[in-house]
Amino acid sequence: MKKIVALILMVILAALPLMVEAAGSLDTHFACAFLDIKFQCGCTRTGTGAMISRYGMITAAHNLYCSTHGKPLEYCNFLFGAKSASSGRKRYEGHFTYRVYETFKNGYNSLNDIGYVVFESPIGNSTGWFAWRAANDSYLKNKFVTIMNYTNNARINSYYSTLSVRNNTQVTWSSVPAGGEGGPVFYQSADMEFPEVVAVYACTAADGSAVGCRITDQLYYDMKADGAFN
Ligand SMILES: [Zn+2]
């Protein structure tokens, strides 16, 4: 009997992502989490993260390490599909691990301001998740993308802009979203079933343009090694 229950559960778990596919669209708001963050140095901030697998969420590194003091998280609360700082469609309070590509030991540096969270349970089965692409320069150049982020009071914003390649790890665009960084920069054409994340919103540059850190092959390999796609 137990075996049958386990088998049914497995079938249900396997079927859930297909239900998302069958819908032919992703609720991008639900797949984005409002982050309520405190670091071990005592600093607090809010930010945005985006699910890109059942277990994996990408965000800016400065949401996981304090960009002023180079200290890791004391805690981070995740509210998916947030409507306000205290209400939303799903809250995650379980365990998670994380990895960053910049720890800000010498202050803020935007070059590798990207990182990811691996949740202990497959929260993506509820929220859905974005497709993603480690895109090359020619793919990214002049792409018309959407940038999503939560404001400090947890209201979701969508911006639309054309990308330029800044360097090997960054893209840039003219429109600057206000509020919590770490949200997805994604592309979707009419023939694509799912929006495809190509970068995360990292910061505003000195000239006022916005900067995003690109999804890299390394990110994919590391997430795979950390079990983010199990
Ligand atoms: Zn700090």
Q: What is the Å distance from ligand 1's center to 19 Cα?
A: 42
Cβ-contact 21, 33 below 8 angstroms: no
Q: What is the Å distance from ligand 1's center to 80 Cα?
A: 25
Q: What is the Å distance from ligand 1's center to 101 Cα?
A: 17
State the pLDDT confidence band at 60, using cuts at 50, 70 and 90: very high
**Same domain, yes or no: 97 and 135:** no
Q: Which amino acid is it at 2?
A: K
Tell which residue, 111, 89, 85, has the closest CA to residue 100: 111
Give the three-class secondary structure for 139: helix
Q: What is the Å distance from ligand 1's center to 72 Cα?
A: 9
**Same domain, yes or no: 111 and 165:** no
Around Cβ 167, how many Cβ atoms within 10 Å? 11
CATH number (domain holding residue 112): 2.40.10.10
- Per residue in 188-224, pLDDT tens? 988 888 999 999 999 999 888 999 999 999 999 999 9
**Same domain, yes or no: 111 and 151:** no
pTM: 0.88
pLDDT at 14: 46
Residue 7 forms part of a structural domain: no
Start-to-end CA span in the chain (Å): 26
**Same domain, yes or no: 81 and 112:** yes
| Calpha distance 166→72 (Å, rounded) | 28
Is it the case that residue 87 has pLDDT exceeding 80? yes
Q: Write the burial class of residue 55 (CB in 10 Å: 0-12 exposed, 13-18 middle, 19+ buried).
A: buried
pLDDT at 196: 95
When divided into structural domains, the chain yields a total of: 2
**Same domain, yes or no: 140 and 201:** yes
Q: What is the Å distance from ligand 1's center to 37 Cα?
A: 11
Average pLDDT across the chain, whole number: 90
**Same domain, yes or no: 86 and 97:** yes
Q: What is the Å distance from ligand 1's center to 68 Cα?
A: 5
- Per residue in 13-59, pLDDT tens? 444 444 444 445 799 999 999 999 999 999 999 999 999 999 999 99
**Same domain, yes or no: 123 and 136:** no
**Same domain, yes or no: 40 and 103:** yes
Residue 4 forms part of a structural domain: no
Residue 1 forms part of a structural domain: no
**Same domain, yes or no: 168 and 91:** no
* Residue keyed to tokens 């979707």: 188
Residue 56 forms part of a structural domain: yes
Cβ-contact 140, 80 below 8 angstroms: no
State the pLDDT confidence band at 3, using cuts at 50, 70 and 90: low
**Same domain, yes or no: 89 and 146:** no
Q: What is the Å distance from ligand 1's center to 47 Cα?
A: 15
Residue 146 forms part of a structural domain: yes
Around Cβ 171, how many Cβ atoms within 10 Å? 25
Cβ-contact 157, 148 below 8 angstroms: yes
| Calpha distance 102→152 (Å, rounded) | 23
Residue 54 forms part of a structural domain: yes
Q: What is the Å distance from ligand 1's center to 81 Cα?
A: 27
Residues 6+ apart with CB under 8 A from 99: 115, 116, 222, 226
Q: What is the Å distance from ligand 1's center to 40 Cα?
A: 7
pLDDT at 77: 97
166: DSSP letter: -
State the pLDDT confidence band at 167, using cuts at 50, 70 and 90: very high
- Per residue in 99-157, pLDDT tens? 999 999 999 999 999 999 999 999 999 999 999 999 999 999 999 999 999 998 999 99
What is the rounded (10 degree) CA torsion for 179, 32, 45, 172? -50
Range of the domain at 119: 32-129+219-225
If you count them, how many residues does the chain have?
A: 230
